[in-house]
Structure 1
Amino acid sequence: MTVDFFAHAALPAPQVRPEEAARIAALLGVPGQAEELGSQQDANFLLRAEDGSVLGVLKIANPAFGAAEIEAQDEAAERIAAACPELRVGTVLRAEDGSPRAAVVDTVSGPVTARMLRHLPGGTLTGSRHLSPRTVAAIGRTAGRVSATLREFRHPGLDRVLQWDPRHADRVVALLLPHIQDPAQRAAVATAAAGAWRALDEQREQLPCQAVHMDLTDDNLVVAEGGPVPTPDGVIDFGDLSTSWAVGELAVPLSSLLHHDGIEPHDVLPAVLAFHAERPLLPVEARALWPLVVLRAATLVVCGRQQAAIDGESNGYVHAALEREWRIFEQATSVPTEVMTALLLDGLGLALPRKAVVPAAPLLADLAPAELAVLDLSVDADAMDRGAWLDAEVEDRIARQHLAAGAAGVLAPYGQARLSRSRVLSAASPATVPTGADLWPARDAVLRAPWDGRVVRVEPGRIVLDCAELTLRLQADRAEVLVGEDATVDAGDRLAILPAGVRARVTLQRGGTSEAPDFVRPEYAPGRLALTADPAPLFGLPAHEEPADATLLARRAASFASVQGHYYDQPPRIERGWRHHLVSDQGRAYLDIVNNVSAIGHAHPAVERAVTRQLRRLNTNSRFHYASVVDFSERLAALLPAPLDTVFLVNSGSEAVDLGIRLAVGATGRPDVVALREAYHGWTYASDAVSTSLQDNPNALATRPVWVHTVDSPNSYRGRHRGAEAHRYAPEAVRAVDELAAAGRAPGAFVAESYYGNAGGVALPDGYLEQLYAAVRRHGGLAVADEVQVGYGRLGHWFWGFEQQGVVPDIVCVAKAMGNGHPLGAVITSKGVADRYRDQGYFFSSTGGSPVSSVVGSTVLDVLRDEDLQGNAVRVGARLKAGLAALGEHHPLVGAVHGSGLYLGLELVRDRTTLEPATEETAELCERMLGLGVVVQPTGDHLNVLKIKPPLCIDAEATDFFTATLDRALRELGH
């Protein structure tokens, strides 16, 4: 006989104490000490030897489970272990003769089956920790592999009636609902379960059945041992194995995701896609999936409360889960089932084509389509320039401008994400996608019924008209409604009069679906828009079509060299920047923490005006004679100490460093160059040759040209000499220079960042450059300062990084901040060094120092001065650094805060003594920060330092948001 839950109505867990469990384990040939593990209806114990090593897991099945059921569970586990070698599986342990270590034993709960199972080290995904998209996908992939493996598995022990089987969810909820004491919660569960069960009416008979594990929750998915980021690679607890709907194998893990920090319904999509790749879902299964998630959530709530009542306080596992189960239910029902179903179908590519909207009569009979101006409020709209999108009244203002220009009406389209609805410094994406269209008429307009229908609701400024397959909703303040509730209208009948200039919202809802909000978040837009329709045909206009962007990343990979990587696994499409914000095509504004290229802020109006004006007049190469290149060169040279008075203009930092090396080698006649290890200087031949960052080139040290000589990275935090001992770096490097000279290879140049950027903004030890510069010059070489990242006031207290060291280089290389995103770089040196370049030929850069580049360079200097951005780096940078340092008091992962001004680095370590780099944790943290609205990226040879170098215009509010968000993300990830 197999178990029938409804015959028992309750399945209390076996009452077994740890000492009795140890006795049972000894009977099975595994003597040891027993530690109780959690379970809802079974009794589980961890068995340890005297030395503390784990021997296995003792599982004592519920007395209601028979021998055939236990046998089926063991066979299923071994089948999965054999078919999926990449998965660890909690199979039954066997004796030397091959027989399972299992027996029926007597307990105070009666005879039960006890067996020893393989212990999988590493722990489970239990807990509220945030799970990254990669982890979520891995959960779905695991469930898909289990489902595919069990598809053909047959066994008499699978024919069970369990309360977890979704085929019986309606009966289970009805039976156990009284165990929910709170009336509001009880009503919510009853309503949601009934609605989900109805949603399955058309699918129930079509859903395929097979053997399912039915409990692939975060409690039963084991993660790789020692992995810093949880990745499931093991499956345990086959106690709920049964025959049921196959798609339930996915619904179960999806529901278990919903209590984790920061996980909401749309976040499960990576799991769905990964499952689908392993075991393709039928359309009928995809339509049933979210109703099953809701039913699973409802079942968890009622069963948990029943089990808590049965076991009393003796079952701590059950009581601890009550709050978690309610959280799952709240999340599962936070988005209408029909919306989630449409969203999943869209993501899986299983959505059906939408029916075209064909009105029987126009909504506005006296307004020709050609007289309508279509309002572009997207991220690409010119009207959104110069931060206009942050004005709460921008939509009405632009509409009035069109009306004043002669448009008979203005229409803001359906389904197009509106930048005007965006919000900055928000941890959640704003609702930017309209589910209807907005209309502003230039004159009083009569709104007419587009089809025959019945008026189902009339409120001040609002009419709802049922037109069979579609429901029309009209909303407008001050509109004069001309029909009454329950009135029957014919196509063309007058519904309301809309006053001139007043906004009306027109929404078309598919019949029988829940009322859509006016705007939805982009993550849920495909689901909501599938249940609505574009009202544009009601105005005689074609329906709005979103551009097919789904393949844009693939197109990039096909045509753009893949070595030119991109941030993030699934990067947002960034199409606009403003000050210290980046904005996606869906209207999500991200705080930009990494963009030292846009030093004075994205889309600065002064740069825009200067470039536009100059492009209207002239843009050519610097061999022509014009004023701007002279003006800019004079200003740049004036920012540097004597004898640095001569400027070369190029297009990038790589070119600047390359040229700086060539100048030094040409002036000294000595080809050898000394550079620091773990540094990055560029991608051209010479700049790459002196770059030894392992992340930019893992073979950097082994592939240097013979003329490049490296000295130890003077990292006072994690280098060979730390803290006060960092003073030893300079003498050691000086000895290396002296040894080169003694060997007849005195260096022509020493190249170094003035402030150690690649390591995350680590200051060089005091006096370091002074000693190195002196040594190199003593042997006839020149000092080259790479200021590409740290120059231009970013350090706050110093305009140039070399000022912090109290030295003056022979050659300074600059870029990035110079052009605020425009390709502009420079090399500044003395006239004597510059003139020696003629010995190698002549220098020419087609667009370096062009009129546009020169004007941009001067404009950036104007803004740095006029907006006191260096001073801002001092003030806001100090506030930010203090906030980041405070995080270390609560989060052990925070090792150190490096840097100065707005060039900071937050180094993350697993151990503050050993300084083991937290590489994987840093990557996961960056992904989570993106989800919370912040763009931040790792740097350093171990990719464990958050590089914090935002536009210099960033303000205190934004840095406080960054610090608070980082605190939240660290907590959610368990750090």
Structure 2
Amino acid sequence: MTETAPTPVFDYFSQVDLPTPTLSDDEVRRLFADAFGVDIDLRGLGSQQDQNFRVFRRGSSEPLGVLKLSNPVFSEAEIEMQDAAAALVAERTPHLRIPRIVEGPHGAMSTWWESSQGRIHARVIENIDGRTLMGSGYLSPAVVERMGSLSGAVSLSLADFTHPASGRVLQWDLRHAGRVIDTLLPLEPDAEVRDIVQRAADAARAALATVRDALPVQAGHFDVTDDNVLRAPGETVPDAVIDFGDVCVSWRVGEIAVTVSSILHHDDATPESALPAIRAFDRVRDLTDDEITALWPLVVLRGAVLVLSGRAQVRLDDENAYASVALDREFRILEQAASVPLPVITAATRAALGRPAANPRAWGAAPLLPEVPFVELDATTESPLNDGGAWLDAGTLDNAALDALDAGAAMVTLPAWTAQLTGTSAPFPSTAASLPTGVTVWLAEPTPLAPGDIRREGEDLVWTSADETVTITGAAAAASGVLPARTRLVLRRAIDGAIPPARTTPALAAAWREVAGDPGAAIGVPAETPVDDDVLARRHEVLAEVQEHYYAAPPRIERGWREHLIDVNGRVYLDMVNNVASVGHAHPRVVEAGSRQMHLLNTNSRFHYRAITDYADRIAATLPEGFDTVFFVNSGSEATDLAIRLAMAATGRPDIVAMREAYHGWTYASDAVSTSIADNPHALSTRPDWVHTVDAANSYRGKHRGADAEKYAPEAVAVIDELAASGRPPAGMIAETYFGNAGGVALPEGYLGAVYAAIRRHGGLAIADEVQVGYGRLGEWFWGFQQQGAVPDIVAVAKSIGGGHPLGAVVTRREIADRYRTGGYFFSSTGGSPVSSVIGMAVLDVIEQEGLQENARVVGAHLKRRLEELGKKHDLIGTVHGSGLYLGVEFVRDRETLEPATTETAAICDRLLELGVIMQPTGDHQNVLKIKPPLVVTRASVDVFVDALDRVLTTGY
């Protein structure tokens, strides 16, 4: 029987140095024409060990394909295996775009060249349209998830793939990572790099040793990374996989480990960022328990191999720009992979995959302190300790603890793993790492620690006994082992020598708690059982689907203060969109006014009490002479609805003129005049016949732009005149006085004056919708119509006037209001109630006495200047609209065509949320940032917003 000779394949350990081919462009063009019969132009592409070009037929701008000159060490069988694997994935996964060998005039463009550098294999692979994720820009959760699903799909397609060359030994095969490290580490000249790699690799190899023999093995791509996936033009997530150069047989879990590693160097990426990719892979490949255990050690080893190999390649070939540029990001991969102890990130991964969690580690030593009665403080988001902005006072927490000690408590505590808002004296920049990992303790008397090894490490005291290590912050001076009284102490338990960070994210908090145990156990404080937050799920069950909420995965906001919003986990967000909270969230004067009046009286507004009269006088006094009659309602929708009904009643006519692309409310009449397709895609086609529309007077993207915007007014006047001439003179004309739905676009100069005059000429009334823009938000003007130098007949206002309380008003002249009486009577049970009235007066007091209109002018001008500066830096910014604190940043894909960047705007808002900024899109194309923060917002806070936006536009979304 004749034995078949084994297929000769590459073995990395027999040839560690792999210099890349470096053929000149002229030689490549000549060899290409000789081999394939095509004259080409070419453009070099990066590679660590091969030489790659994008090639074009001579004079053409359309790529013919990617020319890959394989490193001479790889055999023909290995190259054939790569092509066969790519073809199989393309066949089995048709929804993925996979490149194949290009067909030329003489067949497949794949052959050997006899070059000046020896025999080199050349093949032309299809050029796949799109861009890779190369570089260190931000990857959204959706992109990360897709990378995991691509990795899983390729792995599944190759599950039964076999080939004689699949036994090749590559430095990238994670089964050999330990050998690669042992080979390259002694050659690394930088001692600090050697130390970092050694420590990380030792921990990973130890963790991997327990499961390595049980890991499933199969053929795989093993390079589904940010450099090797592409997203098609205009798409946000990748759908193509290229470069099958690392195909081999290895551990199946290595496929996702390699993908995860490539995520970690991107902007803002952490090990937690990779969890969507792992979940997506698991849905396709169902990771075993052993594979989950092996995953993160393999990610660490991949990082170590990348660092050592990249640095070795640069030492060997210092002109290889591709390898040189990658050094920093490869080092970041290793740093991030090792940034969370392996047991902790593995526990977090199991939780993310829905695998059963282990019980938290029990306390394994004698109690650290004598058992004494204790009082537990509540410093969570909703705690009364934080009312009135007290959470921003660094002394609030200690004062509360000392008060409890003075009242007789022997010990006061705050639990670990529970939100702790109190004492957050610097809320920005915001971070998702908001949960404390330590238990906080105040002692009534000096207290000795239990026997153990006690030492100082920097500002901390470290206590060790049995298998337990506890770090005590705030007790550095207590090296004698006696903890001081009436001092804030924070105790954290270590795991394998690793001390948890002071704060961590909710997902990692659960993992740290599982692995390290609850530090409260060290002092006899019972651990609190975490409760799953099901509020969002229950909201979806009990609220109508059409009653939407911001964001697909919204934070659960449970407190507001000034321009801050705080979620249930204690994370602080900057609120840049909430014009309802005009004077800031939870303003003490507004809270006190409403609370005091609730103690006295709150009732139907048809009862007789003073507050409603006083408040009506106050509102009327802010308006021009003649506005002497006020109606109170509960919302902006009701206010605009009532304003329309007033015009109809006063004129005895049914027809109303409204501007297109505007939103006025959800009640019948206010919805009828709303034509924003963002709120209702069928808005224009479903208008009742009594609504007549005029063009949106948008000087940026409307029919008339720039100086031509002066045409909007005469065209609107013509519509009004034509209606009157047809026998249907309108009852009124309703318009926002500053085009809010478009993102805060000022109406063309003189527009309102012209249309108001036209409507009155035909006996109709001018209705100003001031729901969003009124009450000083514009800075220069208290009311939007003042910017136009025009005076309406009816003003509808809401939002700002209640400071978050449901309150709206319609203000007009007595003769107009009296005509409404002929059609019956009007009342709103709680509109203008005692509580609503005193809250409304408090809001006016705050605006006037705290100079919030002036704040809107000054801070708003600074904000607009900074946003306009961003526009010079980022082409996506088409323009900046607005005045004061009523601004809009409009995003366009092209500044000439003004193609709206709708998808990009949504992604930008999502990324801003990750950075701690609340922002939402507006406009018919949802491509404008709706910038309407509380009027108390500070210059420092708007700088936080602009800096965050600049970061998003610079690093990606």
> What interval of TM-score do these two structures reach, taking the shorter chain for normalisation?
over 0.9
Deviation at 1:632, TM superposition (A): 0.9
Deviation string, structure 1 residues 582-620 (Cα, Å, up to 9, x no partner): 112222211111010100001111111111111222211
Match of 1:14 in 2: 21
Match of 1:492 in 2: none
1: CA distance, partners of 2:150 / 2:896: 37
Deviation string, structure 1 residues 595-654 (Cα, Å, up to 9, x no partner): 101000011111111111112222111011111111111111221123221111111111
Match of 2:338 among 306, 323, 333: 333
Native 8 Å contact 1:672 1:749 kept in 2: yes
Amino acid at match of 2:408: G
Match of 1:516 in 2: 500
- Does 2:284 match 1:299? no
Deviation at 1:682, TM superposition (A): 0.9
Native 8 Å contact 2:774 2:784 kept in 1: yes
- 950-959 vs 786-795, which moves further: 950-959
2: CA distance, partners of 1:937 / 1:556: 21
> Cα–Cα, structure 1 residues 690 and 73, in superposed 2: closer, same or farther, change >3 Å?
same
Deviation at 1:535, TM superposition (A): 3.9
> Cα–Cα, structure 1 residues 479 and 114, in superposed 2: closer, same or farther, change >3 Å?
closer
Amino acid at match of 1:73: Q
Matches within 5 A, 1:354-753: 354-355=359-360, 357=362, 364-365=369-370, 367-368=372-373, 372-420=374-422, 422=424, 424=426, 426-429=428-431, 431-445=433-447, 447-448=449-450, 455=453, 457=455, 462-468=461-467, 470-474=468-472, 477=475, 496-510=481-495, 512-522=496-506, 524-537=508-521, 540-549=524-533, 551-753=534-736
- 82-91 vs 533-542, which moves further: 533-542
2: CA distance, partners of 1:588 / 1:931: 11
Deviation string, structure 1 residues 870-911 (Cα, Å, up to 9, x no partner): 111111111111111111222222221111111111112222
Secondary structure in structure 2 of the residue aligned to 1:420: coil
Match of 2:270 among 242, 252, 264: 264
1: CA distance, partners of 2:29 / 2:871: 43
Native 8 Å contact 1:425 1:933 kept in 2: no
Secondary structure in structure 1 of the residue aligned to 2:747: coil
2: CA distance, partners of 1:750 / 1:885: 34
Native 8 Å contact 1:423 1:430 kept in 2: no
> Cα–Cα, structure 1 residues 362 and 294, in superposed 2: closer, same or farther, change >3 Å?
closer
Amino acid at match of 1:250: I
> Cα–Cα, structure 1 residues 661 and 189, in superposed 2: closer, same or farther, change >3 Å?
same
> Cα–Cα, structure 1 residues 271 and 772, in superposed 2: closer, same or farther, change >3 Å?
same
Deviation string, structure 1 residues 635-683 (Cα, Å, up to 9, x no partner): 1122112322111111111111111111111211111111111111111
2: CA distance, partners of 1:903 / 1:948: 6
1: CA distance, partners of 2:333 / 2:432: 23
Amino acid at match of 2:22: Q
- Does 2:801 match 1:818? yes
- 178-187 vs 905-914, which moves further: 178-187
Deviation at 1:358, TM superposition (A): 6.6
Deviation string, structure 1 residues 351-378 (Cα, Å, up to 9, x no partner): 522146478866554624xxx2111111
Match of 1:82 among 54, 68, 91: 91
2: CA distance, partners of 1:809 / 1:528: 62
- Does 2:77 match 1:68? yes
Deviation string, structure 1 residues 304-325 (Cα, Å, up to 9, x no partner): 1222233342x33222222332
Amino acid at match of 2:167: D
- Does 2:887 match 1:904? yes
2: CA distance, partners of 1:901 / 1:530: 50
2: CA distance, partners of 1:910 / 1:818: 37
Native 8 Å contact 1:421 1:430 kept in 2: no
> Cα–Cα, structure 1 residues 191 and 479, in superposed 2: closer, same or farther, change >3 Å?
closer
Match of 1:35 in 2: 43
Deviation at 1:775, TM superposition (A): 1.0
Secondary structure in structure 2 of the residue aligned to 1:158: coil
1: CA distance, partners of 2:430 / 2:300: 23
Matches within 5 A, 1:153-302: 153-227=161-235, 230-302=236-308
2: CA distance, partners of 1:236 / 1:592: 42
> Cα–Cα, structure 1 residues 624 and 856, in superposed 2: closer, same or farther, change >3 Å?
same
Deviation string, structure 1 residues 234-267 (Cα, Å, up to 9, x no partner): 1110000111111111121222222222323322
Matches within 5 A, 1:750-765: 750-765=733-748
- 632-641 vs 757-766, which moves further: 632-641
The number of aligned residues is: 947
Deviation at 1:479, TM superposition (A): 7.8
Native 8 Å contact 1:422 1:587 kept in 2: no
Deviation at 1:166, TM superposition (A): 0.9
Deviation string, structure 1 residues 775-834 (Cα, Å, up to 9, x no partner): 111112111111000000001111110111112111111110111111111111112221
Amino acid at match of 2:83: D
Deviation string, structure 1 residues 819-865 (Cα, Å, up to 9, x no partner): 11111111111122212222332212121111111111111011111
2: CA distance, partners of 1:104 / 1:475: 66
2: CA distance, partners of 1:757 / 1:18: 57
1: CA distance, partners of 2:339 / 2:771: 49
Secondary structure in structure 2 of the residue aligned to 1:896: strand
Deviation at 1:403, TM superposition (A): 1.9
Secondary structure in structure 1 of the residue aligned to 2:730: coil
Match of 2:325 in 1: 320
Native 8 Å contact 1:427 1:931 kept in 2: no
What's the Cα RMSD here?
A: 2.3
Deviation at 1:179, TM superposition (A): 4.5
2: CA distance, partners of 1:409 / 1:46: 70
Native 8 Å contact 2:460 2:471 kept in 1: no
2: CA distance, partners of 1:434 / 1:610: 36
2: CA distance, partners of 1:62 / 1:362: 63
Amino acid at match of 1:547: V
Native 8 Å contact 1:513 1:531 kept in 2: no
Amino acid at match of 1:316: A
**Structure 1: stretches of 5+ with no match in the other structure:** 483-495
Match of 1:489 in 2: none
Deviation at 1:23, TM superposition (A): 3.9
> Cα–Cα, structure 1 residues 351 and 318, in superposed 2: closer, same or farther, change >3 Å?
same
- 344-353 vs 598-607, which moves further: 344-353
Match of 1:342 in 2: 347
> Cα–Cα, structure 1 residues 697 and 334, in superposed 2: closer, same or farther, change >3 Å?
same
> Cα–Cα, structure 1 residues 231 and 770, in superposed 2: closer, same or farther, change >3 Å?
same
Match of 2:124 in 1: 116
Match of 1:51 in 2: 60
Native 8 Å contact 1:876 1:901 kept in 2: yes
> Cα–Cα, structure 1 residues 312 and 438, in superposed 2: closer, same or farther, change >3 Å?
closer
Deviation at 1:765, TM superposition (A): 0.6
**Structure 2: stretches of 5+ with no match in the other structure:** 1-7
Amino acid at match of 1:526: A
